[in-house]
Amino acid sequence: MTTADEYDVVVVGGGSTGENVADRTAAAGLRTVVVEGGLVGGECSYYACMPSKALLRPGAAAAHARAVAGVSVGAGLDAAAVLARRDSFADHWKDEDQVAWLDGVGIDLVRGHGRLIGERAVQVDGGRVLTARHAVALCTGSLPALPDLPGLAEARPWTSREATSARQVPPRLAVVGGGVVAVEMAAAWRSLGSEVVLLARGPLLGRMEPFAGELVADGLSAAGVEVRQAEVTGVHRDGEVRIDLADGSTVVADEVLFATGRRPNTAELGLESVGLTPGSWPEVDDSCTVTGVPGGWLYAAGDLNHRALLTHQGKYQARIAGAAIAARARGERIDGGRWGAHSATADTAGAPQVVFTEPEAASVGLSLAAAEEAGLRVRAVDHDLGAVAGAKLYADGYTGRARIVVDLDREVLVGATFVGPGVAELLHAATVAVVGEVPVARLWHAVPAYPTVSEIWLRLLEAWRDGE
Amino acid sequence: MTTADEYDVVVVGGGSTGENVADRTAAAGLRTVVVEGGLVGGECSYYACMPSKALLRPGAAAAHARAVAGVSVGAGLDAAAVLARRDSFADHWKDEDQVAWLDGVGIDLVRGHGRLIGERAVQVDGGRVLTARHAVALCTGSLPALPDLPGLAEARPWTSREATSARQVPPRLAVVGGGVVAVEMAAAWRSLGSEVVLLARGPLLGRMEPFAGELVADGLSAAGVEVRQAEVTGVHRDGEVRIDLADGSTVVADEVLFATGRRPNTAELGLESVGLTPGSWPEVDDSCTVTGVPGGWLYAAGDLNHRALLTHQGKYQARIAGAAIAARARGERIDGGRWGAHSATADTAGAPQVVFTEPEAASVGLSLAAAEEAGLRVRAVDHDLGAVAGAKLYADGYTGRARIVVDLDREVLVGATFVGPGVAELLHAATVAVVGEVPVARLWHAVPAYPTVSEIWLRLLEAWRDGE
């Protein structure tokens, strides 16, 4: 007999990844429930992508317009208007719309903290038990990882959550870190009027091509951010925040953002009940099935499987995991080969990423270093993005750079990087080329419209040809 | 014996197409001369792409910034500054830089009007004769086609040349036509303060998907352009210009632009000396070899072969024709199959076009109507571009639309259209997908970065999937 708490699929975590797993399993006719202890919609909707981009877009729009002679743009931004727009994009931190969507597509929602208590069983807030005939999907994402520093907890540092949801512009903001969150939030709050110092241990955006971090550092500096290479040794708050650095100097600020990495949100997920280690990143195969648990009923998608910590890759994994769950439930074969319908191949071969600073940095696939490390025989081809007519027209003094990484054996692109104002929308062409494994000989027939910034493709192909 | 006037390749016309043919043949070691009676660089550099986009970009940049709450943009544009920027992008109508480029890559330049006088022979200004051992390439482009209307010549109408190079903003401008030049110049001069009326016989941008013309018409109207469906019956100038319409009404303006199509610039090209009809569009094969002339020595590339009247397609044809000339000179086989190195396949299967109005309209490959006319079994999939998170972030009240046309037999895209603010750079992804013939199943792995406007791709794929 079926009780109300017997489901086909139990999804733990109602962020964008969990929602997308549930969407796919529900669409396949599987009775699906989502367990969520916080806001349905997750980090992306309320504390990451949406509010952060809402904070960044006004500065970019103003900068782009200001760079065209004949357009008059006022100095600075109206911070109150920008914050109000941000609030709207974060749905004022209310999840009615997302809950209504779940309801509309026939997915049950159970509010509370979900925890595995054994095979195919999830307990909510220590009480109600939900069982899953076919699959449990863990989609609880990641949390900010803070370093072990004296005084840090008492200093009430910002994490990505506070940095994206703050209701006032701090007069002085210190940002610790050199990754995406660090550079984006430094850019955003600087554009809103904060004095910002960015304290990074090494080069910025270390996983991208080196020129990405360099150009973004230049852009931050030009906007008035103080970019310092520094190691933080201690943090103390006494009204204002004092940050001690390894070189003996001190930075004083009103708020300090620690954007120093992520940790898996799996400490309280009951992983031990199925033989996994709490607080670890569960290992999965390409269909997001957890490999350490027999029976193929446990999935982990999104940040917490540590394949690619990006909202869009989480949603991609969700579509693939959802399809795999549905296929297995129907007794069908899993199409798990390279680029198969049940294989999240793009996580490793073609995941795109955009950093919404000024300039923007956008990349897909492998950097030159990553390709070489993977043992591929590759050549990188670079070109000055500012030399393209479309870029000159876009903004006076346009500065940027592009690189493609070409696999010499297959003559296909395995990676591409664009850095410059407005390059975010240039990236998808590279993603299609990399994922589609379109041969370079065919790319010559993909003519960019003149005079767009995309004509960089022609310049890159010419540089490839003439460098042979 | 070789005289100074014996070349391997004679290129008639030094616009962007002729320059690119010459670049390729010179790079292949063929002694190449370009004959040009006007400015080296051609229409695109001085009277089309470059100045028109320079006139359009400021209005777009201002509109995009104005659409983001918190950014303060002054009303109107500084017309003098915009015109000065335009002058700079048109190199002040001087061709020193282009001449220096020819010189730098070892291509001879003969100034004057070139005319075929028989097989492999071109006469310049009725005197000097240049002979071509391997090939003559005709690259003289197209000219504005004016209708046969009473009073038109005396009314001194603007063509695309005057519309892109005018040194003053006309208080009242009438634009006759509904194609790309008409809508772009209406938008540009309106943004600079002209009162503009657009007189079109039918829907705007008739070769694109119908929604492109509709949304562009809406955008023009919102910017204050009066868009009228009208047939012009007469034009008279008496200080101001009076334009008579078929419905009996009259429009009065300070200038009138006729953007009513193009005609081949072949009337004075000596086509009769090789058995072709002067003033016709020479027919060519996919390698741009003129089919009506035996021996394979005569090529026609760019606008005048009427395959695709677009600067970037002319340059594409030029690369292909240049490579074909070089291959034949070396006695090599021509790779003229579909997507071959010597076949301008993209002219018909994947030519991109961008209209730089507000909203922009961008398309590649076949419209739904064109695909059906070609006898393909296709389905169009549409989505509201304004519903994408990246579009909402880009501009408040973002309005736009996207369509892909999917070949049901091969499950590949044969066309795509995007209309909305800033879509110009979205197009190349579609061009790579169409030209690369990337299967829809693979496109699911080409994940758009969140939250970019490019996420429209995910929405389109979902609409395709759910419509099946």
> Tens digit of pLDDT for each residue in B377-392?
999 999 999 999 999 9
Using a CB–CB cutoff of 8 Å, tell me whether B64 touches chain A: yes
- Band of pLDDT at residue A2, cut at 50, 70 and 90: low
How confident is the model over B258-281, as a mean pLDDT?
97
pLDDT at res. A1:
45
* Cβ pair B311:A438 closer than 8 A: no
Instruction: Flag whether residue B332 sits within 8 Å of chain A, measured between CB atoms.
Output: no
Between CA A243 and CA A230 the distance in angstroms is 11
Q: How many CA atoms lie within 13 A of B299 on its CB side?
A: 36
**In A, which residues are within 8 Å of B20 by CB distance?**
none
What ranges make up the beta strands (E) of B13-128? 32-36, 108-111, 114-118, 121-124
- Does the pLDDT value for residue A155 go beyond 50? yes
Give how far A66 is from chain B: nearest CA, Å. Answer: 8
Taking residues A189-198, what's their average pLDDT? 98
Nearest CA among B356, B363, B116 for reference residue A451: B356
Q: Which residues of B touch A354 (CB under 8 A)?
A: 449, 452
Q: Over the stretch A309-359, which tens digit does the pLDDT of each residue have?
A: 999 999 999 999 999 999 999 999 999 999 999 999 999 999 999 999 999
Q: B166 touching A, CB under 8 A?
A: no
pLDDT greater than 70 at residue A433: yes
pLDDT digits (tens, 9 = 90+) for B291-348: 999 999 999 999 999 999 999 999 999 999 999 999 999 999 999 999 999 999 999 9
Is there a shared CATH topology between the B6-41+95-143+263-346 domain and the B153-260 domain? yes
Name the minimum distance, in Å, from the CA of B167 to any CA of chain A. Answer: 15
Contacts of A345 in chain B (CB under 8 A): 445
Q: Is the pLDDT of residue A416 over 50?
A: yes
Q: Evaluate if residue A443 carries a pLDDT over 60.
A: yes
B169 CB near a chain A CB, below 8 Å? no
Mean pLDDT score, A383-394: 97
pLDDT per position as a tens digit, B409-437:
999 999 999 999 999 999 999 999 999 99
The domain B153-260 is placed in CATH, from the list 3.20.20.80, 3.90.1170.50, 3.30.70.141, 3.50.50.60, at 3.50.50.60
Nearest to A82 by CA among A180, A164, A149: A164
Nearest to B450 among A77, A312, A396 (CB): A312
B251: exposed, middle or buried (Cβ count in 10 Å: 0-12, 13-18, 19+): buried
What span, in angstroms and rounded, lies between the C-alpha atoms of A14 and A12? 7
The CATH number that domain A6-41+95-144+263-346 falls under is 3.50.50.60
Contact A54 B353 (CB under 8 A): no
Domain ranges of chain A: 6-41+95-144+263-346, 153-260, 359-466
**In terms of CA atoms, which chain A residue is nearest residue B85?**
A69
CA pair distance B39, B21, nearest whole angstrom: 17
B49 contacts A69? CB cut-off 8 A: no
B101 touches chain A (CB under 8 A): no
Taking CB atoms and an 8 Å cutoff, what residues of chain B touch A316?
A: 445, 447
What tens digit of pLDDT does each residue of A120-132 get? 999 999 999 999 9
CB contact under 8 A, A62 and B61: no
Name the token pair of B269.
Answer: 């090209």
Whether the CB-CB separation of A365 and A345 falls below 8 Å is answered with no
Q: Kindly list the strands in the beta sheet with B255-258, ordered across the sheet, starting from the edge strand earlier in the chain.
A: B226-229, B195-200, B172-176, B255-258
Give the integer Cα–Cα distance in Å for A42 and A217. 30
Measure the CA–CA gap between B305 and B269, rounded to whole angstroms. Answer: 13
CA distance B207 to B225: 22
List all residues of chain A from 122 to 151 with a beta carbon under 8 Å from chain B: none
The number of C-alpha atoms within 13 Å of A257 and in the hemisphere containing its C-beta is 34
Q: How far A287 CA sits from the closest chain B CA (Å)?
A: 13
Is the pLDDT at A249 greater than 60? The verdict is yes
Q: DSSP readout, B360-400?
A: EEEEEE--HHHHHHTT--EEEEEEEGGGSHHHHHHSTT---
On the question of pLDDT at A3 being above 80, the answer is no
Compute, in degrees rounded to 10, the torsion defined by CA atoms B153, B155, B159, B161. Answer: 100
d(C-alpha B31, C-alpha B28), whole Å? 9
Residue A432 at interface with chain B, using a CB cutoff of 8 Å: yes
Q: What is the DSSP letter of B439?
A: B
Residue B352 with chain A: CB contacts under 8 Å? 447-449
Give the closest-approach CA distance of A234 to chain B in angstroms. 35
Chain A hits for B82, CB-CB cut-off 8 Å, are: 69-70
User: Chain B within 8 Å of A62 (Cβ-Cβ)?
Assistant: yes
Q: How many residue pairs bridge chain A and chain B with CB atoms within 8 Å of each other?
A: 266
**B447, B453, B457, B460: best to mutate for the A interface, most A CBs within 10 A:** B447
Residue B185 forms beta bridges with which residues? none
Q: Please state the ipTM of this predicted complex.
A: 0.97
- CB contacts under 8 A, A 354-373 vs B, are 354, 362
Q: Using a CB-CB distance cutoff of 8 angstroms, which residues of chain B are in contact with residue A77? A: 70-72
> What is the CA angle A160-A162-A166, rounded to 5?
130
Task: Give helix B210-222 / helix B180-191 axis angle, nearest 10°.
Answer: 20
Chain B hits for A438, Cβ within 8 Å: 432, 435-436, 438
Question: Residues near B121 by Cβ (< 8 Å), separated by ≥ 6?
Answer: B129, B130, B131, B132
- Interface touch B70/A81, C-beta < 8 Å: yes
d(C-alpha A449, C-alpha B310), whole Å = 9
The residues, any chain, with a CB within 8 Å of residue A267's CB and separated by 6 or more, are: A278, A279
Scanning every residue of chain A, which has its alpha carbon at the shortest distance from the alpha carbon of B454? A425
3-state secondary structure of B463: helix
Confidence of residue A50 (pLDDT cuts 50, 70, 90): very high
> Environment class of residue A132 by beta-carbon count within 10 Å: exposed (0-12), middle (13-18) or buried (19+)?
buried
- State the amino acid at position B347 in one-letter form: D
Which chain A positions have a beta carbon within 8 Å of B316's beta carbon?
Answer: 445, 447
Cβ within 8 Å of B, A 442-461: 442-455, 457-458
Q: Which residue of B has its CA nearest to A68?
A: B58
Distance from CA of B273 to the nearest CA of A (A): 34
The residue in chain A having the minimum alpha-carbon distance to the alpha carbon of residue B16 is A450
Residues of B in contact with A67 (CB under 8 A): 61
Alpha-carbon span B33 to B420, nearest angstrom: 43
User: Which superfamily, per CATH, for B6-41+95-143+263-346?
Assistant: FAD/NAD(P)-binding domain (3.50.50.60)
Cα radius of gyration (chain B): 23
B339 CB neighbours in chain A (<8 A) are 442, 445
Per-residue confidence (pLDDT) for residue B2, from 0 to 100: 56
Q: Which residues 390-409 of chain A have a CB within 8 Å of chain B?
A: 390, 392-394, 396
Burial class (CB in 10 A: 0-12, 13-18, 19+), A148: exposed
pLDDT digits (tens, 9 = 90+) for A52-81: 999 999 999 999 999 999 999 999 999 999
Minimal CA separation from A131 to chain B, in Å: 29
Which residues of B are less than 8 Å from A427 in CB distance? Answer: 449, 452, 454
Is pLDDT above 90 for A162?
yes
Of A71, A443, A448, the CB nearest to B61: A71
pLDDT, position B4:
74
Average pLDDT of span A395-403: 98
Average pLDDT for B219-246: 97
Q: Which residue is it, tokens 């749905």?
A: A91
User: A4: pLDDT confidence band, cut at 50, 70 and 90?
Assistant: confident
Q: Average pLDDT for residues B204-208, to the nearest whole number? A: 97
Give the model's confidence band at B1: pLDDT under 50 very low, under 70 low, under 90 confident, else very high. very low
CATH 3.30.390.30 assigned to domain B359-466? The reply is: yes
A347 close to B (CB below 8 A): no
CA distance B385 to B400: 5
Interface test with A, best of B364, B450, B466 (most A CBs within 10 A): B450
Q: Which residue of B has its CA nearest to A312?
A: B450
